[in-house]
A = this chain, B = another copy of it.
């Protein structure tokens, strides 16, 4: 093989390993974020202020991961000038980490509410709903990351579909909490903590859906944000792949 070819191959191997590296870093960040959601819910349900504090402390590490991965994406864009699917990978990663960081923020907010509830005394209601919706959205985050790892648009689509049912669960839980506050006004400020937790969980579902949409973009090259599930499904099922 001529020297020049060897050099090219070398560059391309280096480039591939750089892409592989940011992919791995994203999945690591995702794993940590998923754990944060889980820990925040456990802290809430079990009234574990210490665990809640730990969740809040770990948020900095997640923020830092976002900055590090984003910087690496920018470095790759500037130096490698990737095209086609490589470009889509870098751009998708730089977008997914924004959603992961926001999920981390929501975990941290839930942890703060958990601490408030330990101090103010448990709310009289709402824990079952938080646990249920909490597990649901945590699974969505996990599946969205899985879809990314396996470039699986079917799974990504199924995450987007799940978001609909989370929204319904959220609305029904909210109605119940509001009724409860009216019946027992002394519990208002404690039940409000539960309301904020529910709201955070619903946002986590939205972010998981965003991640899933970025995965579809990554694999199919089609931007499926802001379109309905039906049109999204049609796009996912289409056989033609951009490369």
Contacts and interface: CB of A to CB of B under 8 A. Distances in A.
Contact of A188 (B83, B95, B181, B223): B181
B64 A226 contact: yes
Contacts of A120: none
Contacts of A64: 226
A83 B81 CA distance: 9
Contacts of A32: none
A202 interface: no
A126 to B, nearest CB: 15
Contact of A178 (B70, B71, B98, B189): B189
Q: What's the dominant secondary structure at chain A's contact region?
A: helix
A64 B227 CA distance: 10
Given A98-B98, A178-B192, A77 B67 contact: no
Interface string A54-89: 000000100110110011001001100101100100
A189 B64 CA distance: 40
A2 interface: no
Contact of A182 (B78, B91, B178, B185): B185
A171 interface: no
A237 interface: no
A164 interface: no
Interface of A: 60, 63-64, 66-67, 70-71, 74, 77-78, 81, 83-84, 87, 91, 94-95, 98, 178, 181-182, 185-186, 188-189, 192, 199, 223, 225-226
